[in-house]
Amino acid sequence: MAYILGIESSCDDTSAAILENEHIRANLIANQKVHEAYGGVVPELASRAHQQCIVPVIDSALKQAGLTAQDLDAIAFTRGPGLLGSLLVGTSFAKSMSLALNIPLIEVNHLEGHILSHFIKETEDSPVPEFPHLCLLVSGGHTQIVLVKSPFDMQIIGRTIDDAAGEAFDKSAKIMDLGYPGGPVIDRLAKEGNPNAFVFAEPRISGYDYSFSGLKTSILYLIRDQLKVDPDFIEKNKNDLCASIQYTIVKILMKKLCLAAKDLNIKTITIGGGVSANSAMRSAIVETGQQLGWTTFVPPFQYTTDNAAMIAIAGYFKYLNHNFCGLDVVPFAR
C-alpha cells in the first residue's frame, strides 16, 4: 500500500491530491481568479499565486486524507509542459519535500496525467480502460489523438497544427466578449441555442491532424459582417452563435477520432483535458460510442480540467515501476 502526493502547478491552478494506491483520498484545487481581469493567464501573476497557495493546498489535502506528511510514500509533480515560472514552484516544492521526508520523487508529464486520469478509482469497482486504447486529449494548450499502449508507452498519432480545441473555444468567446476562460461560458449559453443556426468553415486537412485557425477566421468574418448590418447582432444571437460554434468544434474533433479508431480498429476510446468537460463533447463521445460499438470513458468533471489527482495516478504507475527522478530534475515549458 502506498500514499502518493501529487502536485500540479503547470498553469493557473494550484492543486494537491493524495492517492492510496489508485484510490482517491483528496483532490484540492485553488483556482487563480487574478487572471479574469486580463482575459487570459498572466504568467508572472500565476507563479506568485502558486507561491501563496502551494503550502495551504498541500496542507489541506493531507488533512482531508487524514494523513501527515510522514505517512507519504512518494511525491509526484508536474514537470511540464506549462508555464516555466509556475512549474518551478511545484517542482521546487516537491524536491524539497522529498528531500526532507527522504521519500522518492517522481516527475510526471502533464499530458500523460490527463490521459491516465481514467485510472483514478472513485470506488472499489470503478472500471478502467484496457490497453491499447485511443485518447482524445483536448485542453487549452493541446489537441491530440494518442494511442495509449501502456502507462509508459504512448504515441501521438494526430495533433493540431495551430490552435488547440480549448483555444478555439476561448478565442471564439473573446470575439463575442464573453470573458475568460470562454469554454464553460459557451457550453452554458449553447444549451439555449440552435447548433444549426450558423455554418462555419471546417478544416480540410489530411490524416489525423487538426486545425482550428480557419474556424476562428470564419467566426470572426461572420460576426464582423453581421455587426455592420446590426450592431446588436452578437447580443441577439449569442446562444445560437455559441451552440453553432460548439457544434462545429465537436464535429471537427469527432471526425478525426472516428477515422483513427476505424483505421486502427480500436474500440476503447477515452477523452481527457479541459474540453472533455464540455457537455456536447461528452454526449458526442458516448453517443458515437453506442453507434460504433466503442467502450467509452469520460472522466468525472473534477478530473477534466487541471488537477493533481491525475498527476498522482501517473506517479503511482511510475512508483510501481520504481521510476524515480533525482533532485537535479528541471521543469520544461514545452
Our separate counts of H helices and E strands in the chain read: 9, 10
What sign has the CA pseudo-torsion 101, 103, 105, 106?
A: negative
| Stretch touching ligand KG4 by CB under 6 A, among 85-93, 183-191, 211-219, 287-295 | 183-191
Note whether 270 binds Zn ion by CB under 5 A: no
Least distance CB 4 / ligand KG4 (angstroms): 21
Note whether 86 binds ligand KG4 by CB under 6 A: no
Nearer to ligand KG4, 4 or 280 (CB): 280
Instruction: Please list, residue by residue across 73-105, b when 16 or more beta carbons sit within 10 angstroms of its beta carbon and e when fewer do.
Output: bbbbbbbbbbbbbbbbbbbebbbebbeebebbb
Name the binder of 172 from ligand KG4, Zn ion, none, CB < 5-8 A by kind. Answer: none
Q: Taking a C-beta distance cutoff of 8 angstroms, is the pair 197, 245 a contact?
A: no
| Stretch touching Zn ion by CB under 5 A, among 178-186, 200-208, 211-219, 305-313 | 305-313
Of 127, 118, 75, 106, the closest CA to residue 303 belongs to 118
Q: Could you give the CA distance from residue 69 to residue 55 in angstroms, rounded to a whole number?
A: 12
What sign has the CA pseudo-torsion 194, 196, 200, 204?
A: positive
Q: Could you give the CA distance from residue 313 to residue 22 in angstroms, rounded to a whole number?
A: 6
Note whether 91 binds Zn ion by CB under 5 A: no
Note whether 163 binds ligand KG4 by CB under 6 A: no
Least distance CB 219 / ligand KG4 (angstroms): 15
> Applying CB under 6 A, which of residues 39, 43, 132, 184 lies at the interface with ligand KG4?
184
Q: Taking a C-beta distance cutoff of 8 angstroms, is the pair 178, 185 a contact?
A: yes
Note whether 78 binds Zn ion by CB under 5 A: no
- Amino acid (one-letter) located at 277: A
Note whether 306 binds Zn ion by CB under 5 A: yes
Nearer to ligand KG4, 158 or 181 (CB): 181
Name the binder of 278 from ligand KG4, Zn ion, none, CB < 5-8 A by kind. Answer: ligand KG4
Helix spans in the chain (H): 43-65, 84-101, 110-116, 165-175, 182-190, 213-229, 233-264, 279-292, 309-320
Per-residue contact flags (x/-) with ligand KG4 for residues 248 to 287, judged by CB under 6 A: -------------------------xxx-xx---------
Per-residue contact flags (x/-) with ligand KG4 for residues 52 to 81, judged by CB under 6 A: ------------------------------
Q: How many positions of this chain bind Zn ion (CB under 5 A)?
A: 2
Q: Which residues bind ligand KG4 (CB under 6 A)?
A: 11, 139-141, 166, 169-170, 181-184, 187, 273-275, 277-278, 305-306
